[in-house]
Every structure is written in structure tokens, then in C-alpha cells.
Structure 1
Amino acid sequence: MDRQNPVLRISPISSGRAGKMIASGLPGSEFRLNYIRDFTIRNPDGPGSIAFRYRIAGNHLNDQNSAEPLEQTTRELQFNEDGEFFIWIGGDVDLSNAAPGIYDGEFTIEIEYI
């Protein structure tokens, strides 16, 4: 990232900077995964915003490099034989409209048994 390209890109498949979550449930059970892909947080003390485009990948194995991109916002998936599903979170962070300040936001993944 630099001034000419103010977008920070974090691959959910290959970056060591990606976040990791483990969903737990009944082994072999199917579930739906849902999340909001685009999100903007604003500077509460003045001008400025940071835009996020989340990219997530998932795998029934604890192996980030072989994870499958989960492009749809709602996906039907399955827990592995240990009742786990591994999720890596990356994305694009656009800082072109960011001003100095403290920004606060949340990222939510919803899991629904089916």
C-alpha cells in the first residue's frame, strides 16, 4: 500500500495477516454461512471513512493454502468429522478517504444449521 494505491489487500488464502476463525458444530452437519461483504466505518470525530470489502475462504481442513474462496454471501457448507470448519478472513481495505482518528467497527459471520 502507498499513497498512489491506498488499498491494503489481504488474501484469505495466502496471507499470514488474514484472520482465522473455527466454526464448531455436529460432525457432518450442514450449515449456511452468511456475511456482509462490503462495509464502511466512519470517523466519529470528523471527516473520514474506511471502506472494507471482505473476502473469506473456508476449508474442512486446517490448511489455509488449500482453502476455497467463499464468494457468495450465503453458502451451504459442512462440518468435518471433528465438527470443525476453518474460516480465513481477508479483504481489501480502502484508505483513500481515511483521515487521522480512531475508527471502530465490527465484522459478523452468521452460521445457521440446516
Structure 2
Amino acid sequence: MQKILSLFLFLLSLIGSGNLFAQEIRDTRKAEFSVRATATVTDNLQMLTIRNLDLINPVVIDNTVNVSPITSSFAGMFRINGNPGARVRITFLQNEVLKEQTEQMGEVLAQYLVSGAEIDAQFQSTLLDVGEGNFRLSEDGVFFIWLGANLDLSKATPGVYLSEFIIEMEYI
């Protein structure tokens, strides 16, 4: 899109108001020409947070916390807005080791899980099990995703653990 927009602006600067007319050439010869340029500029994808991922309230069982993106009410929820019917690639980091921030003694193994659907129907969403997926935005230009996680707390010590989950989206 950046290249299309740059090309469009370049052509627009060349043609001014859309046309170049009556350019004088040496020896009183005249040349007249017209150029028409068009460009399609697509909107950016926008992701809105509807609900944050809750990793505090789920029950810890056998040193693990499991939040399913498909079935858990603790899953984070996001809405992607873009061009109606457009194809989108979603990419995210599946696994991360979180280190305790103060003493660096403990660690939490995090596995992130993402599911998605064209409508706001978490239980009908499709799991992205390889860290990437291609989807089509709905006729209204929306797509919903849910974020879950499995945390292994067996090597955790009391402290602060920070993560910056990143999801990338692009038109394809």
C-alpha cells in the first residue's frame, strides 16, 4: 500500500491538477499531452480490544493455567476492522518464556492460543494452531479473534512476570 500511495503522490505531483497542456518546445513547436492516473488506496486494518485476556482469575491446576480461546470466558477478545471481503493474514508468537523481573530466578512457560470467526461467536471460532492463519473479513469488513494461553508455572517463583503479546495482521 505504501508503494501504491507513493506512486500516486509522485504521479499527482507530475500532473498537477490532472493534466499537463501546451508545453512549449524550442523553435515554436508545441507539444500537447494528457496523463490520467488512478490509484486504489486500501484502508489500514484496525484492531479493537473488546476484552483483555484474564490470567489472574482462572484456577491453577497442577501448576498450570489453561485459558481456551474457544471455550473460556477469561479469553481476550478483539475485533478487526478492514475492507469488506478482504483476505487477511494473522501471525503471532506461539511460545514465550517469561522471566521474573526482579530477581530473574523464576520463569513461566507461556503458550498462546488464538481462534477467529467472521461473527461474534466464540464457541464457533476456528483455532489457529500454527501461529498463522489466513481469513476473509465479513461482508461488513469485520473479523473477531480470541486470545487464550496455557501457562506452565512449575518453575515460577513469586514475583512479576511481563509479556508483550504481539499479533501481526496484513492484507494478502
Which AA in structure 1 matches 2:163?
G
Q: Which runs of 4+ in 1 moved over 3 A?
A: none
Matched, 1:67 2:125: yes
Matched, 1:56 2:126: no
Q: Secondary structure at the match of 2:123?
A: helix
Q: Deviation at 1:103?
A: 1.4
Distance 1:103 1:71 in 2: 25
1:12 pairs with 40, 63, 69, which one?
69
Distance 1:74 1:15 in 2: 21
The equivalent of 2:35 in structure 1 is none
The equivalent of 2:167 in structure 1 is 109
In the alignment, structure 1 segments of 5+ residues that lack a partner are none
Distance 1:100 1:17 in 2: 22
Distance 2:101 2:119 in 1: 40
Which AA in structure 2 matches 1:28?
G
Which AA in structure 1 matches 2:96?
F
2:158 pairs with 95, 100, 111, which one?
100
Q: Deviation at 1:105?
A: 1.3
The equivalent of 2:81 in structure 1 is 24
Distance 2:90 2:168 in 1: 6
Q: Deviation at 1:72?
A: 2.0
2:143 pairs with 71, 81, 85, which one?
85
> Which TM-score applies when normalising by structure 2?
0.63
In the alignment, structure 2 segments of 5+ residues that lack a partner are 1-59
Q: Deviation at 1:59?
A: 0.2
More strand by share: 1
Higher deviation after alignment, 26-35 or 41-50: 41-50
> Which TM-score applies when normalising by structure 1?
0.93
Higher relative contact order, chain-length normalized (CA < 8 Å, sep 6+): 1
Distance 2:87 2:80 in 1: 12
The equivalent of 2:97 in structure 1 is 40
Deviation track 1:35-67 (CA, whole Å, cap 9, x = no partner) reads 010011101211001111011110001000111
Q: What is the total number of aligned residue pairs between the two structures?
A: 112
Identity of aligned residues (%): 33
